[in-house]
Chain A
Amino acid sequence: MVAAINDALDMALARDPDVHIFGEDVGVMGGVFRATDGLQAKYGVDRVFDTPLAEAGIVGMGIGMGLAGLKPVAEIQFAGFLYPALDQILSHLGRFRHRTRSRYHLPMVIRAPYGGGVHTPEQHADSPEAILAHTPGVKVVIPSTPADARGLLLSAIADPDPVFFFEAIKLYRSVKEEVPTDYVTVPLGKARHVTRGDDVTVVCYGGMVEVATRAAEAAGAAGIGVEVIDLRTLVPMDTDTVLESVEKTGRVVVVTEAPRTGGFHSEISATIAEEAIEFLRAPIVRVTGYDAPYPPFTAIEDVYRPSAVRVARAIRKVMAY
Chain B
Amino acid sequence: MTLSSDSLPQAGLSAEGAAASEAAYDAGQAAGLFQILAPDGEVVRPDLMPDADTQLRLYHQMRRARHFDERGWVLYRQGRLGVFPPFGGMEASQVGTAAALTADDWLFPTYRDTGAALTLGLPIARTLAYWRTSPHGWAMPENLKVLPFYIPIATQYPQAVGAALAEKRKGTRNVALAYIGDGGSSEGDFHEALNFAGALDAPCVFILQNNGWAISVPTRSQTRAVDLSRRAAGYGLPGVRVDGNDVLATWHVTAQAVERARNGGGPTLIETVTYRVKPHTVADDPSRYRTEEESAPWREKDPVTRLRAHLLRTGVLNEESDAALLAEVAAEFEAALQEADTYPDPTPAEILDHVFAEPTPQLRRQREELLAEVEA
* Contact (Cβ within 8 A) B366 A119: no
A83: chain B residues within 8 A (beta carbon): 152
A80: nearest residue on chain B (CB-CB)? B152
The answer to whether B183 touches A53 (Cβ under 8 A) is yes
Would you give the 0/1 interface string for A279-311, flagging 1 where the beta carbon is closer than 8 Å to chain B? 000000000001111011111100110000010
Q: Which single residue of chain B is at the shortest CB-CB distance from A299?
A: B345
Count, A-B residue pairs, CB within 8 A: 113
Bound together, the chains give a CA A261 to CA B132 distance in angstroms of 29
A contact residues, total (Cβ < 8 Å)? 41
Chain B residue, CB-CB nearest to A81: B152
Let me know if A50 and B82 touch, CB within 8 A: no
Residues of chain B from 181 to 224 with CB closer than 8 A to chain A in the complex = 183-184, 186-189, 214-217, 221-223
Smallest CB separation, A234 vs chain B (Å): 23
Q: Is the pair A300, B215 in contact by a Cβ cutoff of 8 Å?
A: no
B351 contacts A by Cβ under 8 Å: yes
- Residues of chain A lying within 8 A (CB to CB) of residue B83: 121
Of A28, A46, A292, A296, the residue contacting B133 (CB under 8 A) is A296
Chain A, residues 106-142, CB within 8 Å of chain B (1/0): the string is: 0000000000000101111000000000000000000
Q: Which residues of B contact A122 (CB under 8 A)?
A: 151
Q: Tell me which residues from 360 to 376 in chain B have a Cβ below 8 Å from any Cβ of chain A.
A: 360, 362-363, 366, 370, 373-374, 376
Known contacts A29-B288, A290-B370, A291-B360, A45 near B187 by CB under 8 Å:
no
Alpha-carbon distance A95/B370, docked complex (angstroms): 40
B-side contacts of A92, CB under 8 Å: none
Which A residues are CB-close (under 8 A) to B264? none
Asked if B135 is an interface residue, CB under 8 A from chain A, the answer is yes
Residue-by-residue, is B332-376 near A (CB-CB < 8 Å gives 1, otherwise 0)? 000000000000011110111001000010110010001001101
Do A24 and B217 touch across chains, with their CB atoms under 8 A apart? yes
Give the residue name and chain of the A residue nearest to B224 (CB): A52
B: number of interface residues (CB 8 Å): 43
B15 to chain A: which residues have CB within 8 Å?
A: none
**Given the complex, which residues of B lie within 8 Å of A29, measured CB to CB?**
215-216, 288-289
Contact of B351 among A46, A55, A123, A304 (CB under 8 A): A304
Give chain A nearest CB distance to B116 CB in angstroms.
Answer: 18
A24, A291, A295: the one within 8 Å of B215 (CB):
A24
Q: Which residue of B lies closest to A46 (CB)?
A: B11
Q: In the complex, which residues of chain B have a beta carbon less than 8 angstroms from the beta carbon of A291?
A: 352, 355, 360, 362-363, 366
Residue B24, interface by CB 8 Å: no
Q: Does B29 contact A (CB under 8 A)?
A: no
Set of chain B residues within 8 Å of A292, measured between Cβ atoms: 351-352, 355, 363
In this assembly, does A54 line the interface, its C-beta being within 8 Å of a C-beta of chain B?
yes
What is the bound-complex CA distance between A299 and B184, given in angstroms?
31
- Closest residue on chain A to residue B111 by CB atoms: A121
Q: Mark B131-154, 1 if CB is under 8 A from A, else 0.
A: 011110000000000000001111
A interface with B by C-beta (< 8 Å): 24-25, 27-30, 32, 45-46, 50, 52-57, 80-81, 83-84, 119, 121-124, 260-261, 290-293, 295-300, 303-304, 310, 313
If A291-B363, A297-B346, A300-B350 are given as contacts, then 14 extra A-B residue pairs at C-beta distance below 8 Å, sorted by A number, are: A28-B216, A28-B288, A29-B216, A50-B216, A52-B222, A53-B217, A56-B188, A57-B186, A84-B154, A121-B111, A123-B151, A290-B351, A291-B352, A291-B362
What are 9 sample pairs from A and B whose C-beta atoms fall under 8 A apart? Answer: A25-B216, A50-B217, A52-B186, A52-B217, A52-B223, A84-B189, A121-B133, A292-B352, A313-B373
Residues of B whose CB lies within 8 Å of any CB of A are: 11, 82-83, 111, 132-135, 151-154, 183-184, 186-189, 214-217, 221-223, 288-289, 345-348, 350-352, 355, 360, 362-363, 366, 370, 373-374, 376
